[in-house]
Amino acid sequence: MQNPERTTDRLVRALGVASAGLGVPMLVRTDAVARFAGVDDDAGAPLVIQAVGARELVHAALLLLGPHRTVWTRVAGDAMDLAVLGRALADRKGERRARATAATAAVAAITAADVWVASRTLREQHGRGRPGPLQLHASVTVQQEPQEVYRFWRDFENLPTFMLHLRSVTEHGDGRSRWEANAPLRRSVSWDAELTGDEPGRRISWKSLPGSRVANAGTVHFAPAPGDRGTEVKVVLHYDVPGGRAGRLVAKLLGEEPEQQVRDDLRRFKQVMETGRVVRSDGLPSGADARHQVAQRPAQPVKSERASNHR
């Protein structure tokens, strides 16, 4: 089966080549491009065409060297081009109008292709229809090899050991799983999810199934850290919390800020991967399970009497 991400990669890079192919003639054969577009009677057209050509070369560099989502810059450029051609079309008659119409149709076809490829980049990262209005990013460096870090995370039933608000994850096979988590006001919430991407040692993507009470989608990236320092783990989430805006406000007032939660989860994940457990002291007496960390208190120095007994 063909890898959807590789297909998207090829499409994005092909658009980069196309941008270069469009940009160079606009800069070196500006007059010919103006004739093709039916605007060779406009004294300001050459400057506009050269500006568009320069922009296309920037698009080419972004699409050939940058991440897939840079294709959206090309979609924005298409919208500007269609607006300019629309004004030019309204002012043309006869043969020039026919040429302007053909140029507009060509750009409209290119726009449709760009939008289609851009939509694939959204599905690639988070599945169709990224749920929830909230988005967050968090990362941590773990001193373990990417394959080992990936392997632990991929076993979703390991996640409650370091995710504070997650009660359980039960895998059902075929990439589907059942999640149960704590919710604000001491409530609980559960939902079903499915994998949308799984590249061993590199990436895990998932999304909640339609009808879930908690709409969410996300991707965890695993990449070698610079300087041979282990693995850089990057989490990208799109989600909403139960109760909509009111629920988010309650969560924030209760100190359950989602972004801070994820950062704390990653800190605990680092501890588990590097030491085998969540690091504890007398300030965290209730065990290594992440759920027990709500009882954490500031650690106290050893009292003199206790210290003398250990001499």
Unique residue bearing structure tokens 């075929």:
174
Q: Where are the alpha helices (DSSP H) in the chain?
A: 4-28, 30-36, 45-65, 71-90, 94-126, 146-154, 244-253, 258-275, 304-309
**Digitized pLDDT (tens) for each residue of the chain, 311 residues in all:** 445 667 778 888 899 999 999 999 999 999 999 999 999 889 999 999 999 999 999 999 988 887 777 888 888 899 999 999 988 888 888 999 999 999 999 999 999 999 988 887 765 544 444 444 567 789 999 999 999 999 999 999 999 999 888 899 999 988 899 999 887 666 788 899 999 999 999 999 999 888 777 778 889 999 999 888 899 999 988 876 554 444 454 445 444 566 777 888 999 999 999 998 776 554 454 444 444 444 555 445 545 444 444 44
Q: What is the DSSP letter of 104?
A: H
Which CATH architecture best describes the domain 134-295? 2-Layer Sandwich (3.30)
End-to-end Cα distance, the chain:
66
φ and ψ of 63, to 5 deg: -75, -35
Residues 6+ apart with CB under 8 A from 227: none
| Cβ neighbours of 12 (radius 10 Å) | 24
Residue spans of the domains in the chain: they are 4-126, 134-295
Distance CA 275, CA 44 (A): 67
Q: Supply the pTM of this predicted model.
A: 0.49
Distance CA 311, CA 305 (A): 10
